[in-house]
Structure 1
Amino acid sequence: MNQTSPPTEQPTRGRTNPLGPLDNLEDYVMHDSTTNPSVNLHVAIDWSSLGYKVFPCRADNKRPHIKKWQDLASADPEQINQWWDRWPEAMPGLHVGSAGFLVLDVDVSKGKNGPETLKALETKHGPLPSTWLAKTPSGGYHYYFRAPQGVELKNTVSKLGRGLDTRAGNGFVILPGSVGESGAYEWVSTGAELAPAPDWIIDKVRKDEEPATPAVEYKPGQEPGNDEFARQALAEAVKAVSEAEGGERNDTLNAKAVRVFGMAKANRLDRAEVHAQLEEAAIAAGLEADETAGTLASAWKGAKPRTEGLRPSPEEMFDAVAEPEFVYVGEMHKVYHWPSGRFWPLEGFYSVLKLRTKEKKDDARESLPHVATIDFAPGEPRVFRDGKLPVLNTWRGLEVQGSDADPGPWLEHLHRLVGNQDEAEHLLNWMAFTIQRPGVKINHGVLMMGEPGNGKDTLFQPLRRALGTAAADVKGEDMLRDFNQYLVGAKLLVIQEANLGNRKDASNISNQLKDLFSAPPETLSVNIKHVAPFNVRNLCSVVVLSNMEVPLMVERGDRRIFAIRTAFRVRDNDGRLFDWTPDYFSQLWHWLEEEGGNAAVVGYLLHRDVTGFNPKAQPPTTEYHDELRESSVEPLERLALEWAKEQVQGATVSPKDAYEELHQRPMLLRECGLKELPALNIVSRKFAAAGVIEAVKVRQGDSVVRAWRILHGGKSAIDYSFLD
């Protein structure tokens, strides 16, 4: 979907009857002006099916749930379902520019009389063409027009007249058919096609070229446009505006805008970027859009070029320090501790230095090398550029270089664990490729299961030592938490004590881990407490270790996991350690850590021929992998398959009737691992994902109703043998 060729089809949801002539409309629409997860998700899916990019917005104040929605808005149904699983009451917003639209917002709230303003303009310019028209909960209207190709348009507040706003480019509107806390957005039936935007509106919302700002003389070593002091000043301004309270908000916005607009006039920041970030922060803090626009316009007019804080480029500062202890990271507003690879809050940094006054703290921060962000980027220099922004490369190279010594004790241990020769060879190639080609993602992880204490973790110790701070260990339960700092700079991620396969949410956990095991996605989002989310390259090799029979749910058709059941036993049938066990592991550990064993293994892996190893290929199937797939069918999928056995292939059934029938069969639900049946829309989605039904519309008398068509009914259509 792009602005040059927008579709002209209008989604049906949100007309007078949002879901068409359905008998069970009450199942989908709530008429008490409360939010409705079902209808809002259906609206989002309907629009996305036509290629429109949508994203979730809060039901109470219409603000986006996600940051950088302009870049993340999506037409991917899987992404949309993930968003609505997280925010079920969200209203779908439409990225207006990507849709190729210009939307005229005729506002009647807070004393505005947009219809009267529009009527006066129509008297002057002629009536608006008949086009798509939607009514807002406040009683206003959204006129949808096709935006002209090749013309950059902007959002405006009251530029056409009081009560008339426009949304274009990087603007958004709530989609017709949505229901929020203030009411519903509904189509007004006009029978019209999408009309081109009138020229008189285009002339008012076209982005004008800005006059060049006066040049400023820079200090030696400072590259124009590469000014981290200015970028940090912008970040601090945005933070201050977003946290301002009550009557301080507009004054804070004005003061901060004057300062950073001054830096923009000195060619140190981009004016449009400054305006966009401050505008978003001000509106999020509770300022009205028109008040924000006026304050920013006044601040730009009054700002003078500012040159304070200019410093040498980050590359120059790094060249002067062989191994910096601390680096200031502007995007996170934190200090990165190079030796440990951890972030420090600024106050912690100041405390270590025993700094008390603001002046001393500012001087200490300014003395540090400054970068915009960090990334794990093997092959790049320690500081490299992403466009104009300096980025700190956390990859330090191998910390154990390897030797020519005999790796025999470690190889013997590997073959004790992995009795199958083919599986052992693949595992060796996987490990060798990880350290030989750290800049390449291997598109499958290793899952190793076996009895407690048999040396699974010890097997990967040489890789940890070689990768140093680029190796991270986490527990299985850590994968369920919101924060994931362990991804920063990680080439090897070892997940210990995984026991995630028998949880109720095992399927969701499995989906969350998919991105870790393979690429795309090419980047992973990092969430650290008190730090705005940022992305790092998806290059980590993932190992999952467990003593549990089903540590993860493995889907049918999975191509992301190389699963090994270890054969090495260190306990007798009563669970007692064999007499030789303690000595075996103490000797192996002493050889690795004290006698150069780690270096011997690293040397062996660095010299191993991996020319035949394809990191993007599907891993070999193992007997244990097949067992996991058979035991990992989630309860709703199992219910779908069992239910389908009783159906006639090609028939259509009423979703509501089928749902009620399943409700009356508690024994079947229990056999499939369900205590209760989730909502109908979830059942419908899961049954479709299992491949047993597809959602269709069928005519019933004079009405069109929703139905399920049975894709695979009876035993002959699907192989259910793995369920027996």
Structure 2
Amino acid sequence: MKRLGFDDFKKLHSHTRVQIAQGDLVKKRPIAQVWLEHPLRRTFDSIVFLPNQPTPPGTYNTWRGFACSATQGNWSLMQAHIRDVICSGDTLAAEYLMNWMAFAVQHPEKAAEVAVVLQGNRGTGKGKYANAMTALFGPHATTVSQPSHLTGHFNGHLKDCTFLFVDEGMWAGDKAGENVLKALITEPVIQMEKKFQDPTPIKNRLHIMIASNSEWVVPAGAHERRYFVLHVSDVQMQDKAYFAALDRQMYELGGLEAMLHDLLRRDLSTFDIRAVPRTAALDQQVINSLDAMHTWWLDHLGSTVPDWQYQCRRTLVEACAHKCSTPSQRSMETKLGNFLKKVLPGGLKKVSHTPPGRGKAIECYEFPTQALCRQAFQNLLGIQHDPWA
């Protein structure tokens, strides 16, 4: 939608005139002026964006609905693509994803609060699936190809947007972008800013899908609930015949209309969108997002140590300082001690210990068993899949 002042509106249509009867005479007048003076001209007090909601009197609602009609039909190839490729055969993940899609079309007025993340190789069909969702929402779908288009200062393209596809998105180590992304996913109100205009608060109605072939896509934290991450299978990668058949069913044989029909009628009475399945792909994003000290501890938990119970403090401090690029071992010893107090089950114990075959005691940390330490770290991060397997 383009906004014009009165003068600009008149100039835009100055080349068009209409014949107006004035008594016995017929005169040509500028169409813009005729429309502005007409008593039946449609006039609104405000412009609103209210998807799936009644339009208040005196307002102009920019919600245009979906891009196609909902018609019963066949979209079995896309259903199989979602189950076998996008979700790699994981039926629980496929069930959640179908419900997420249904939530998006049944509740375009609400933010999803969970972003779908598709991580996998090029040519596997990530974009093919996301483009079908984009086609459903038509003018209310937006595709961006760079994270900066989403997390930068100017995000006017998000106005009137309910489905947002971020193609090749990646937030590896971008702290500023991380905070903006999290707000776009979960905050009820977001700031929209166009060039040369002041920021305006708008209700968040975004349903976000992110696709990337990068190993580290999103900044996932411990016990993460903002992201539903899927590792997309490459079983159909670059299969032109497979994708041609998929396109034909969806865009020539009524598959898109059938998908909308079924999603609008899908029962969501027991669906909790925040109850995100814990996938191995999400756990990997959590691991990829760890800081240097947590990464060092993860690696240490996976190493073979001759005497796990009693470990030399100096050796651990040196190893951790090297991983964290900290020149001062004195400051690192304090940081490491505080860190181990948090991650070790039962707390941290400092002891003097004489290793077998040595006559002199050394300063050590006393650890619980390696299995207990691993389980405690998994619980701390909220990951279910064994990262050391």
The two structures have a TM-score, normalised by structure 1, of 0.38
Distance change >3 Å, CA 668–CA 362, structure 1 → 2: farther
Q: Does structure 2 retain, via aligned residues, the 8 Å contact 1:507–1:634?
A: no
Distance change >3 Å, CA 438–CA 352, structure 1 → 2: same
Cα deviation, residue 568, structure 1? 3.3
**1:231-254 deviation digits (Å, cap 9, x = unpaired):** xxxxxxxxxxxxxxxxxxxxxxxx
Q: Is 1:516 the equivalent of 2:176? A: no
Q: Which amino acid aligns with 2:140?
A: A
Question: Which one of the candidate residues 342, 349, 353 is aligned to 1:712?
Answer: 342
Q: Is 1:486 the equivalent of 2:157? A: yes
Q: Does structure 2 retain, via aligned residues, the 8 Å contact 1:439–1:539?
A: yes
Cα deviation, residue 363, structure 1? 8.8
Q: Name the structure 2 match of 1:601.
A: 259
Q: Does structure 2 retain, via aligned residues, the 8 Å contact 1:375–1:391?
A: no
Q: Which structure 2 residues correspond to residues 442-461 of structure 1 after superposition, within 5 A?
A: 442-461=112-131
Structure 2 CA distance, aligned partners of 1:675 and 1:394? 55
Question: Which one of the candidate residues 193, 212, 234 is aligned to 1:527?
Answer: 193
Q: Name the structure 1 match of 2:134.
A: 464
Q: Name the structure 1 match of 2:13.
A: 353
Cα deviation, residue 541, structure 1? 1.0
Structure 1 CA distance, aligned partners of 2:114 and 2:131? 20
Structure showing greater relative contact order (alpha-carbon pairs closer than 8 Å, 6 or more residues apart): 2
Q: Name the structure 2 match of 1:427.
A: 97
Number of aligned positions between the proteins: 312
Cα deviation, residue 420, structure 1? 0.5
Q: Does structure 1 retain, via aligned residues, the 8 Å contact 2:151–2:180?
A: no
Cα deviation, residue 555, structure 1? 0.7
Structure 1 CA distance, aligned partners of 2:343 and 2:208? 39
Structure 1 CA distance, aligned partners of 2:45 and 2:269? 37
Q: Does structure 2 retain, via aligned residues, the 8 Å contact 1:407–1:604?
A: no
Cα deviation, residue 720, structure 1? 4.7
Q: Is 1:406 the equivalent of 2:74? A: yes
Distance change >3 Å, CA 444–CA 713, structure 1 → 2: closer
Structure 2 CA distance, aligned partners of 1:516 and 1:450? 23
Matched position secondary structure for 1:403: coil
**1:25-64 deviation digits (Å, cap 9, x = unpaired):** xxxxxxxxxxxxxxxxxxxxxxxxxxxxxxxxxxxxxxxx
Q: Which amino acid aligns with 1:440?
A: K
Structure 1 CA distance, aligned partners of 2:337 and 2:179? 18
* Contiguous gaps of at least 5 residues in structure 1: 1-336, 338-342, 572-576, 643-664, 681-686, 694-709
Question: Which one of the candidate residues 271, 289, 309 is aligned to 1:632?
Answer: 289
Q: Is 1:547 the equivalent of 2:204? A: no
Structure 2 CA distance, aligned partners of 1:691 and 1:511? 29
Structure 1 CA distance, aligned partners of 2:193 and 2:297? 36
Q: Is 1:610 the equivalent of 2:268? A: yes
**1:628-649 deviation digits (Å, cap 9, x = unpaired):** 111211347768999xxxxxxx
Q: Which amino acid aligns with 2:220?
A: V
Q: Is 1:619 the equivalent of 2:263? A: no
Cα deviation, residue 372, structure 1? 3.8
Structure 2 CA distance, aligned partners of 1:550 and 1:691? 29
Q: Is 1:588 the equivalent of 2:251? A: no
Q: Is 1:379 the equivalent of 2:47? A: no
Q: Name the structure 2 match of 1:440.
A: 110
**1:111-169 deviation digits (Å, cap 9, x = unpaired):** xxxxxxxxxxxxxxxxxxxxxxxxxxxxxxxxxxxxxxxxxxxxxxxxxxxxxxxxxxx
**1:93-126 deviation digits (Å, cap 9, x = unpaired):** xxxxxxxxxxxxxxxxxxxxxxxxxxxxxxxxxx
Matched position secondary structure for 1:447: strand
Cα deviation, residue 550, structure 1? 1.1
Q: Which structure 2 residues correspond to residues 566-585 of structure 1 after superposition, within 5 A?
A: 566-571=232-237, 577=238, 581-585=239-243
> Computing the radius of gyration over CA atoms, which structure comes out larger, 1 or 2?
1
Q: Which amino acid aligns with 2:268?
A: V
Q: Name the structure 2 match of 1:285.
A: none
Structure 2 CA distance, aligned partners of 1:431 and 1:676? 50
Cα deviation, residue 614, structure 1? 1.9
Structure 1 CA distance, aligned partners of 2:33 and 2:326? 59
Q: Name the structure 1 match of 2:228.
A: 562
Cα deviation, residue 350, structure 1? 5.9
Cα deviation, residue 622, structure 1? 0.9
Distance change >3 Å, CA 640–CA 570, structure 1 → 2: closer
Question: Which one of the candidate residues 132, 146, 171 is aligned to 1:500?
Answer: 171
Cα deviation, residue 564, structure 1? 0.7
Q: Does structure 1 retain, via aligned residues, the 8 Å contact 2:74–2:254?
A: no
Distance change >3 Å, CA 713–CA 534, structure 1 → 2: closer
Q: Is 1:393 the equivalent of 2:61? A: yes
Q: Which amino acid aligns with 1:535?
A: P
Cα deviation, residue 375, structure 1? 3.2
Q: Which amino acid aligns with 2:13?
A: L
Q: Does structure 1 retain, via aligned residues, the 8 Å contact 2:14–2:31?
A: no
Q: Which amino acid aligns with 1:494?
A: F
Distance change >3 Å, CA 498–CA 350, structure 1 → 2: farther
Structure 2 CA distance, aligned partners of 1:487 and 1:369? 26
Q: Which amino acid aligns with 2:323?
A: E
Q: Does structure 2 retain, via aligned residues, the 8 Å contact 1:375–1:537?
A: no
Cα deviation, residue 349, structure 1? 5.4
Q: Does structure 1 retain, via aligned residues, the 8 Å contact 2:151–2:181?
A: no
Distance change >3 Å, CA 349–CA 566, structure 1 → 2: farther
Q: Name the structure 2 match of 1:306.
A: none
Question: Which one of the candidate residues 148, 172, 176 is aligned to 1:477?
Answer: 148
Q: Does structure 2 retain, via aligned residues, the 8 Å contact 1:416–1:567?
A: yes
Q: Does structure 2 retain, via aligned residues, the 8 Å contact 1:462–1:601?
A: no
Structure 1 CA distance, aligned partners of 2:294 and 2:94? 34
Cα deviation, residue 536, structure 1? 1.7
Structure 2 CA distance, aligned partners of 1:711 and 1:409? 52
Cα deviation, residue 668, structure 1? 5.0
Cα deviation, residue 507, structure 1? 3.3
Over the matched positions of the two proteins, sequence identity in percent amounts to: 21
Distance change >3 Å, CA 637–CA 473, structure 1 → 2: same
Q: Does structure 2 retain, via aligned residues, the 8 Å contact 1:491–1:539?
A: yes
Cα deviation, residue 398, structure 1? 2.4
Distance change >3 Å, CA 420–CA 370, structure 1 → 2: same
Cα deviation, residue 348, structure 1? 7.1
Q: Which amino acid aligns with 1:556?
A: A
